[in-house]
Structure 1
Amino acid sequence: MSPFSRLATHQAPVVLGLCSGTHDSSAALIADGTLVGLVEEERLNGDKHTRAYPRQAVTWLLDQAGLKPAQVTHVAYNHSPLRYLAAAPASLRWLAHPAAVPRAFPRARSCTQVWLNSRARMRAFQTHFPAAHVTAVEHHLTHALYALAAGTNILGGRNEVAVLVTDSLGETATTTITHARLRPGGRVDLDRRLTLTDPASLGYVYGAVTLHLGWRRTDEEGTVMALAALGDPARFRDLFRRAIPITSTGFGVDVRLFPLRVLSSRWPRVSPAFAAETCPPRAPGAPVEQVHADLAAALQERTEQVMVHLARRARKLTGARVLAVGGGVAMNCVSIGKICEQAGFEQVTVPPSPGDAGTSAGAALAVHRAVTGRLPAGVAGASYLGPDYPSMDLPVHPRPGLTAIQVASPEMMLARRLAEGQIVGLFRGRLEAGPRALGHRSILASPLLPGVVERLNARIKYREEFRPFAPMVLASVADDYFTLGQPSPFMSMASGVTDLTREAMPSIVHVNGTARVQTVNPDAEPFVARVLAAFAAITGHPVLINTSLNVKGQPICGTPDMALDCLTGTGMDALLLEDWWVAKTTAAPLGDSEPGTTSKEES
C-alpha cells in the first residue's frame, strides 16, 4: 500500500516538511498552494549541521504564513522508517562475503536502531501537530522532487526531465534515476528507472576519504575537492578504479577498501588495506603533504568519471534532453561542471539546497502532490526562502568599536567601497536556502585587486590557503568571462574561464582553471544586480568575489546578531546590514564624504 493512500483530500492543505534528527535540520512549509519558505535551523541556532528539531525554523514559517500549529494538516518527514527496518534482515546476506562478515550483524542492529529512532521522531511530530497526518516520505523521492521543482524555470520549457540523485544514503538507496514528465497545471509523473543501493555510494566514499584526510565528514568535502586541484591523480588512479568500479548500470564499491557501512560513527569508513595503499590518517590541523593532495585528486577524478557516467545513463534511460541533479554529491560543483560539458544534455540544473536540508521541502512537495495531484507554486528558481529583517533599526554603536549609519543608496556605497579594496559583508533581504551564499548573506570583495584572496583566507574566513573563492557575475555578460554556456543562479557549477578573466581577475580562477560561478539575473535578485552594475561602472567589470557570511566551522549568519558578531570577530572592513552601513570605528569616517548617507540622528 502506498504511504500516501490514507491522506485525505483537502482543498488547501497546509504541509510542513521536516528534516530532523539527522544532520542539516530544516523545515519547509506549503500553504495556499505556495511554498512559504525553507529554513535551515543552523542559521538560527548557530550550531552548524545541527540535528535538533527545527523549532525556530518552524516558528518563523508558521508566523510568516499567519498560521498556528493546529492548522497544519500534514507533516512530511524526509525518511521512511520502514525501509530501515527492511534493511536489517537484508544486511545478513553480507555474512557470505568474507570481508564484510564482522559488520553484518552490527549493520543489522544499526538499521533497527535507526528505524526505532525515526519512529520516535514521527511520534514526537504528532505531539507538536496533533491535527496533522504525519507521513514518511522516501528520502530519494524528496531529493528528486525538490531538484525537479526548483529547476523547472531554467530547463528551457522542456516537459521531460531526467532526475539524477546521488548521495551517501537514503534508507538503502544511494543513487536513483527518475524520468519526470511535467504536465499542465503543475502535475508531474515520475517513473523511477534505476536504483543503486548501499554499499555502492559515492557520498560514503567521498566522506570516508575526507575523514581520512583530516577534515570533517558531511562538512568539509569541499576542502578535499579544492585540494584535488593541487594533486596528481595518477598516483592512486588504479586504486580508485578498483575501489569504485564502473558498471554498465552504474558503479560499485569494494568493501575490502571501504568497509560495509554500519549506521554509527564509531565504525571506521576506510579499511587498513586502504590506508596501507595510500597514507596513514592525517590528523586535523597537521601539515598537508603532497600525498594528501594526490589522494584527493584521484578521488575527485573518479567521482567526476562516475557522475558523468551516471548522467549519460540517465540520458539513455529517459531520453530527456535536460537534467536535474540532487543529493549531497550534487554539491561537488566540479563534477556538475563536467556533466555540463560531457554528458550531452542541453541544460543541467541543481537546486539551491541539494543536500539533506533541501529534503524538508522535497518531503512537503511529495505530500502536497499526493493530496492535490500537483506541485505547489513558489519553488521554481526560488532560493531566498528564509527570514528577513526589513524594519531593522540600529543604534549608532551596535557593538563596541562599531558605528552604524543609514544609507540612502546602499548599492552605490557598497560598489564604491568594494572598488576601493574593502571587504564587506552583505546581510540584506530573505535568507538563502542551501550551502552557497547568493548575495543575501555574503562577504563581497573586488576580484581585481592583488592580495584579496590571501586577506580573505587569513583574516576573515580562517581557512586553508589553497581554497578558492567563487565569483558572481551579471548573467547578461557571463559569457564574456565564463565558458559554462548556461545559467548557474545557485553557484552550483564549476565553469571554465575566458582569457579576459585569466588576465583581469586571476584571483577567482582555481588551480584547475575553473571558477564556481553564480550568474545574477536582475529579475531574480535586483539589488545584487544593481551592485554589480555599479561596480562595473567604476571598474569596467560586473564581477565580484562572493563567499558566505561566516567563518570556517560556523553556519552562514542567519540573524543580525550573528552578522555583527562576524564583523567584530574577523578582518572584514564593514557590513551592509539591510540599509545600514556598519563600519569599525577605526575605519575611515563616512557621512559627509559619502553622498546619500545620513547618521541615525539625522534620519
Structure 2
Amino acid sequence: MIILGVTHPVLWNNGACILVDGKLIAMVEEERLNRLKHAVDMPAERSIEFCLNRAGVTLDDVDYFAVGWESMKGHKKREQHIWEYKLKQLPFSHEDKRIRFVRHHIAHALSSYYVSGFDHSNILSFDGSGGGESGLLMAGEKDDFRIVKAIPNRSSWGHIYSLITKALGFRYHSEEGKVMGLAAYGEPIENEFKFIDWDHDIPIMDKKGFKKYFADLAQRKNGEDLNQYHKDLAATAQQALERAALQMSLYLHNITGSKNLCLAGGCALNCSMNGVLLRSGHVDNIFVQPAAHDMGTALGAALSVYKDVTGHRPEIVLEHPYYGPDYTNEEVEYELKRYKISNYKRCGDIAKETATLIAENKTVGWFQGRMEFGPRALGGRSILGNPKNKDMKDIVNKSIKGRESWRPFAPSFLSEDYAGYVKEPYNSPFMIIAFHAIEEKVSEIVSAAHVDHTVRVQSVRKEIAPRYWELINEFKKITGVPALLNTSFNVAGQPIVCSPRDAIMTFFGCGLDYLAIEDYLVWK
C-alpha cells in the first residue's frame, strides 16, 4: 500500500512524504526544493515529485492521498472556495476518490504519537490555528486516541506568541525563535497578560481584553535597538507559553495517569518550553516530532490513513530525520567543475580532515548524505564550528549567518558523552529540548551554550549518523570535547541548502572557511 502524505496549500512550511507498506521512504519540505522560505501557500509539487521518484512510483500507483487538513464540508462558502482553489494546485485532481482528509490538529498529533514508540501517551498539539481550533489535547492508547479537549482559536498560544514576535520587530509566523532566544536576557513582567484566565482546566483568553492589549501595545520600530523592556516582554511571552503547556499537560496527566507526552504543532518547536515540560513532575518521557510545524501534518495524515485502512498504526519509531535528497560524489564533482572551482580535493577521510580544521577554529559547511527534514539542521546540512572557542558564536553570527549577536547556537554531542555536560539528561536526537548545562562544563562548549547556560542538545548515535558521529569523535580525539557547534547551513532569510549547487552558492556567498561536501573538501 502506497500513501502519499501532503500538506494543504493553504499552509506555511508545505511539503510531502510517502509511506510504502507502512515504511517511511521519503519526506521533504517544499522550501528546500523551490528555494522560497517557508513555501507559504504553495503546493508541494516538487516535494511530491521527489517522494514519488524516491519510492520508484507514479501518481497512478498511489493508493491514497492523505491531506493534513479537514475537508471543505460544513464550512463557510468563502472558506470552501479558497480551500478548493488551493487544492486544485496539487498535481492530482481535487476530486480524486483516493483523497483522504485528516483534521489538521489530529494530523499534527499523530505525526508525533504514532512514531514515538510509546504504547500510551498524553498528546498536546498547538499552534497559531488550524481549521476550527488552535490545538487539541488528546490521549493515546496503543493504536487508538481520543480527544480530551480542544483549544479554541480565540485562545491561541501560537497566535499570541507570534503577535509578541511582531511587536518586538521580528517577522510574524517566521521569527518566533528569536523571541525564545531573547527571553533569556529578560525577566517576566508580573501580571502583564491580564486577558488570560488561568482558573480553568486549561487557560482561556478574554477576546476583548486580548484585542485591547495588542491594540495598545507599542511596536518596536525598524532599526530601534532592543532595550530591557523588549527583553522582558519576550521573557513574559515565554513564561506564559511554558505555564500554559504545563497546565495543559498536567490536566491530561491527571485524567490519564500517563507520564508520557507527545508534542506537535508549531509551539512544540519551542525548545525552552520542551525542557520545562521534561523537568516537570508529571512528565517522565517526551517525544517531539522534529517537523512539528505544518510540514508534519503530511506525515500525520499519512499515518492516520494507514491506521484507518489497516486497523493499526505502522511500526515506525522515528529515530532520525534523514529522509530527503542525497547526492553522489560524481554529482558533487560535476557541480564543482561546472562552476569552474579549482580549490578542492577529494579526501580519503573527510571526517578526520574536517575535525582538524574545526579544531584549528575554521568554520565548515558540512553537507553529507540524505538531507534532514524539519527546521533544525542535524548533521546533514550543517554549519559547524569549535564550541570551545568563546569567539565562535560571534564569528558565525556576524560573518556567516548574518544574525543578531545575541542569538545562540546549539551543540551536537556524541550520544555516549552528552550526559556529562547537562543536568537531567534525556535522549535528544532532534535538538528540540533545552537542558541546563553543568556549570563547570560550560567553558568547554561556551559558544554552543546560551547566556542562561541552557543548551539545545543533539545527541548523535553512530548507528544512525555514522559519518557525523565520526567527525565529532575525531574532534574529541584532538580537543577532548565530544561536541561541535552546529547551526543550519543557510544564511538569513534563505532555506537550508539542499543540493550541491545550493551549498556551493551559499559557501561562496558567506564567510565560511571550508565546505566538506561528501568526500570533497572545498576552500576559497
| TM-score interval, normalised by the smaller of the two chains | over 0.9
Q: Any idea what SS the aligned residue of 1:356 has?
A: coil
The question of whether the paired residues in 2 share the 8 Å contact of 1:312 and 1:343 is answered with no
Could you tell me which residue of structure 1 aligns to residue 451 of structure 2?
511
Judging changes above 3 Å, is the alpha-carbon distance between structure 1 residues 393 and 557 closer, same or farther for their aligned structure 2 residues? closer
Judging changes above 3 Å, is the alpha-carbon distance between structure 1 residues 402 and 221 closer, same or farther for their aligned structure 2 residues? farther
The question of whether the paired residues in 2 share the 8 Å contact of 1:480 and 1:500 is answered with no
The question of whether the paired residues in 2 share the 8 Å contact of 1:15 and 1:74 is answered with yes
1:310 aligns with 2:241: no
- Paired with 2:195 and 2:391, the residues of 1 have a C-alpha distance of 40
- Paired with 1:419 and 1:583, the residues of 2 have a C-alpha distance of 16
The question of whether the paired residues in 2 share the 8 Å contact of 1:169 and 1:198 is answered with yes
Q: How does the TM-score come out when normalised to structure 1?
A: 0.83
The question of whether the paired residues in 2 share the 8 Å contact of 1:17 and 1:362 is answered with no
Q: Any idea what SS the aligned residue of 2:319 has?
A: coil
1:297 to partner: Cα distance: 1.1
Could you tell me which residue of structure 1 aligns to residue 150 of structure 2?
195
Could you tell me which residue of structure 1 aligns to residue 333 of structure 2?
394
1:167 to partner: Cα distance: 1.1
Choose which of 362, 365, 376 in structure 1 pairs with 2:314: 376
Q: Any idea what SS the aligned residue of 1:394 has?
A: helix
Choose which of 398, 404, 410 in structure 2 pairs with 1:464: 404
Choose which of 507, 514, 521 in structure 2 pairs with 1:567: 507
Could you tell me which residue of structure 1 aligns to residue 166 of structure 2?
211
Residue 198 of structure 1 aligns with an amino acid whose one-letter code is N
Judging changes above 3 Å, is the alpha-carbon distance between structure 1 residues 511 and 254 closer, same or farther for their aligned structure 2 residues? farther
1:248 aligns with 2:200: yes
Choose which of 269, 277, 284 in structure 2 pairs with 1:339: 277
Summarize the alignment of residues 314-333 of structure 1 with structure 2, pairs less than 5 Å apart: 314-333=252-271
- Paired with 1:494 and 1:150, the residues of 2 have a C-alpha distance of 21
The question of whether the paired residues in 1 share the 8 Å contact of 2:6 and 2:299 is answered with yes
- Paired with 1:408 and 1:228, the residues of 2 have a C-alpha distance of 45
The question of whether the paired residues in 1 share the 8 Å contact of 2:126 and 2:267 is answered with yes
Residue 177 of structure 1 aligns with an amino acid whose one-letter code is L
Judging changes above 3 Å, is the alpha-carbon distance between structure 1 residues 583 and 128 closer, same or farther for their aligned structure 2 residues? farther
Judging changes above 3 Å, is the alpha-carbon distance between structure 1 residues 121 and 547 closer, same or farther for their aligned structure 2 residues? same
1:131 to partner: Cα distance: 6.2
- Paired with 2:350 and 2:258, the residues of 1 have a C-alpha distance of 44
Judging changes above 3 Å, is the alpha-carbon distance between structure 1 residues 36 and 576 closer, same or farther for their aligned structure 2 residues? same
Number of residue-to-residue matches in the alignment: 521
The question of whether the paired residues in 2 share the 8 Å contact of 1:231 and 1:293 is answered with yes
- Paired with 1:359 and 1:189, the residues of 2 have a C-alpha distance of 18
1:13 to partner: Cα distance: 3.9
- Paired with 1:557 and 1:512, the residues of 2 have a C-alpha distance of 30
Q: Any idea what SS the aligned residue of 1:151 has?
A: coil
Q: Any idea what SS the aligned residue of 2:397 has?
A: helix
The question of whether the paired residues in 1 share the 8 Å contact of 2:114 and 2:316 is answered with no
Could you tell me which residue of structure 1 aligns to residue 21 of structure 2?
32
Q: Any idea what SS the aligned residue of 1:348 has?
A: strand
- Paired with 2:273 and 2:238, the residues of 1 have a C-alpha distance of 8
The question of whether the paired residues in 1 share the 8 Å contact of 2:385 and 2:484 is answered with yes
Choose which of 466, 472, 486 in structure 1 pairs with 2:426: 486
Could you tell me which residue of structure 2 aligns to residue 176 of structure 1?
136
Choose which of 106, 114, 138 in structure 1 pairs with 2:79: 114
1:478 to partner: Cα distance: 1.2
Per-residue CA distance 1:167-191 (angstroms, 9 max, x = gap): 1112122221211122xxxxx1111
1:249 to partner: Cα distance: 1.4
1:444 aligns with 2:397: no
1:291 aligns with 2:251: no
1:541 aligns with 2:502: no
1:79 aligns with 2:18: no
Q: Any idea what SS the aligned residue of 2:210 has?
A: coil
The question of whether the paired residues in 2 share the 8 Å contact of 1:70 and 1:129 is answered with no
Per-residue CA distance 1:134-189 (angstroms, 9 max, x = gap): 1211001101111113322xxxxx5211111111112122221211122xxxxx11
Per-residue CA distance 1:383-405 (angstroms, 9 max, x = gap): 11111113424156564666221
Residue 314 of structure 2 aligns with an amino acid whose one-letter code is P
- Paired with 1:136 and 1:581, the residues of 2 have a C-alpha distance of 46
Could you tell me which residue of structure 2 aligns to residue 407 of structure 1?
347
Per-residue CA distance 1:76-98 (angstroms, 9 max, x = gap): 11111447x54x5xxxxxxxxxx
Q: Any idea what SS the aligned residue of 1:239 has?
A: coil
1:525 aligns with 2:465: yes
- Paired with 2:38 and 2:209, the residues of 1 have a C-alpha distance of 28
Could you tell me which residue of structure 2 aligns to residue 600 of structure 1?
none
- Paired with 1:178 and 1:468, the residues of 2 have a C-alpha distance of 33
Could you tell me which residue of structure 2 aligns to residue 358 of structure 1?
296
Residue 69 of structure 2 aligns with an amino acid whose one-letter code is H
- Paired with 1:409 and 1:398, the residues of 2 have a C-alpha distance of 25
1:512 to partner: Cα distance: 2.0
1:125 to partner: Cα distance: 4.2
Q: Any idea what SS the aligned residue of 1:161 has?
A: strand
Q: How does the TM-score come out when normalised to structure 2?
A: 0.95
The question of whether the paired residues in 1 share the 8 Å contact of 2:439 and 2:453 is answered with no
1:254 to partner: Cα distance: 2.7
Judging changes above 3 Å, is the alpha-carbon distance between structure 1 residues 132 and 429 closer, same or farther for their aligned structure 2 residues? farther
Per-residue CA distance 1:321-353 (angstroms, 9 max, x = gap): 211111100011101000011142211110111
- Please identify, of 217-226 and 29-38, the stretch whose mean Cα deviation from structure 2 is larger: 29-38
Per-residue CA distance 1:446-497 (angstroms, 9 max, x = gap): 1111311110110001011110011111111111111142111100011000
| Identity value in percent | 31
- Paired with 2:94 and 2:259, the residues of 1 have a C-alpha distance of 42
Q: What are the ranges of 5 or more consecutive residues in structure 2 without an aligned counterpart? A: none
1:250 to partner: Cα distance: 0.7
1:217 to partner: Cα distance: 1.4
Q: Any idea what SS the aligned residue of 1:362 has?
A: helix
Could you tell me which residue of structure 2 aligns to residue 475 of structure 1?
415
Judging changes above 3 Å, is the alpha-carbon distance between structure 1 residues 127 and 527 closer, same or farther for their aligned structure 2 residues? closer
Q: Any idea what SS the aligned residue of 1:337 has?
A: helix
Per-residue CA distance 1:575-601 (angstroms, 9 max, x = gap): 1111111111xxxxxxxxxxxxxxxxx
Could you tell me which residue of structure 2 aligns to residue 598 of structure 1?
none
1:63 aligns with 2:53: yes
The question of whether the paired residues in 1 share the 8 Å contact of 2:44 and 2:90 is answered with no
Could you tell me which residue of structure 2 aligns to residue 232 of structure 1?
187
Could you tell me which residue of structure 2 aligns to residue 348 of structure 1?
286
Judging changes above 3 Å, is the alpha-carbon distance between structure 1 residues 201 and 292 closer, same or farther for their aligned structure 2 residues? same
Q: Any idea what SS the aligned residue of 2:205 has?
A: coil
Could you tell me which residue of structure 2 aligns to residue 43 of structure 1?
32
Residue 201 of structure 1 aligns with an amino acid whose one-letter code is S
- Please identify, of 243-252 and 464-473, the stretch whose mean Cα deviation from structure 2 is larger: 243-252
1:16 aligns with 2:5: yes
Could you tell me which residue of structure 2 aligns to residue 54 of structure 1?
44
- Paired with 1:487 and 1:146, the residues of 2 have a C-alpha distance of 19
- Paired with 1:453 and 1:321, the residues of 2 have a C-alpha distance of 37
1:167 aligns with 2:131: no
1:500 aligns with 2:440: yes
Residue 56 of structure 1 aligns with an amino acid whose one-letter code is R
Q: Any idea what SS the aligned residue of 1:288 has?
A: coil
1:370 to partner: Cα distance: 1.0
Question: Who wins on radius of gyration, i.e. which is larger?
Answer: 1
Per-residue CA distance 1:37-59 (angstroms, 9 max, x = gap): 11100001110011311111111
The question of whether the paired residues in 2 share the 8 Å contact of 1:397 and 1:403 is answered with no
Q: Any idea what SS the aligned residue of 2:477 has?
A: helix
